[in-house]
Amino acid sequence: MKKILLIILTFSLLTQCGIYRKTDARKIPGNVNDRVQKNLEEGKRIKFGGGGNKGSGNFSFATSNEMWRATIEILDFIPLNNADYGGGIIITDWYNEDGSGKDSIKIMVRFLSNEIRADGLKVTIYNKSCVLDTGIQNCSTQIDEASQIGQELKLAILKKAAIYKTSRTKKEAEEFNKNRKPVNIDREGLD
């Protein structure tokens, strides 16, 4: 009797939570990509601890962010180790130009603001120097806070982000003007 009551209670809870819902197969696309697109358009996704909010999430450092896009484009020559737009951080892998592995750098870019400002991001350069000593590679790592490379990267990111912002603003203005309906004024009634 307890098992039957437990099964009924579980089924009742599952139907109340919205996990089990009857659906019409005619309204659901057969193709997986079409289903995903339909779910995204309707704001359906898996949420953990998001409360009862409907719609998509708020990603402050998404690809529409000019600073994020500029940084990704500037650092495209180096493999990325971690790129987390939700946390606003990009970390590259160790990189050296000559391939010897003796001296390498790692770049970390932290986004402190969505605005295109010099204090809106922090670029940190890590230097790694390796020496082969009696068959054992001995490496030391240090943070270079006042690195010329870091300052040049920061300036390049800010310049490219400003170009993206100007381009986006211009495009939005053109779109606004295109969709705006002209207002007809009767000049005879104004005199």
Q: Is 69 exposed, middle or buried (0-12, 13-18, 19+ CB in 10 A)?
A: middle
Tell me: the pLDDT tens digits for 59-79? 444 556 888 889 999 999 899
User: Does the pLDDT of residue 174 top 70, yes or no?
Assistant: yes
Q: Across residues 103-112, what is the average pLDDT?
A: 90
State the pLDDT at residue 15. Answer: 61
Average pLDDT score over the chain: 77
Confidence of residue 181 (pLDDT cuts 50, 70, 90): low
Helices of type H across 18-147:
32-41, 66-74
Cβ(107)–Cβ(91) below 8 Å: yes
Asked if residue 28 has pLDDT above 50, the reply is yes
Using alpha carbons, select from 138, 60, 144, 140 the residue that is nearest to residue 107.
144
Q: How many Cα atoms sit within 13 Å of 158 on the Cβ side? A: 16
The residue-averaged pLDDT of 100-120 equals 86
Query: How are beta strands 103-111 and 89-92 bridged, if at all?
Result: antiparallel
Residue 95 has pLDDT above 60, yes or no: yes
Q: Round to whole Å and give the CA distance between 5 and 10.
A: 9
- What ranges do the domains of the chain cover? 2-41, 66-177
pLDDT band at 188 (very low <50, low <70, confident <90, very high): low
Query: In the prediction, which pLDDT does 102 show?
Result: 79
- Sign of CA pseudo-dihedral 181, 187, 189, 190: positive
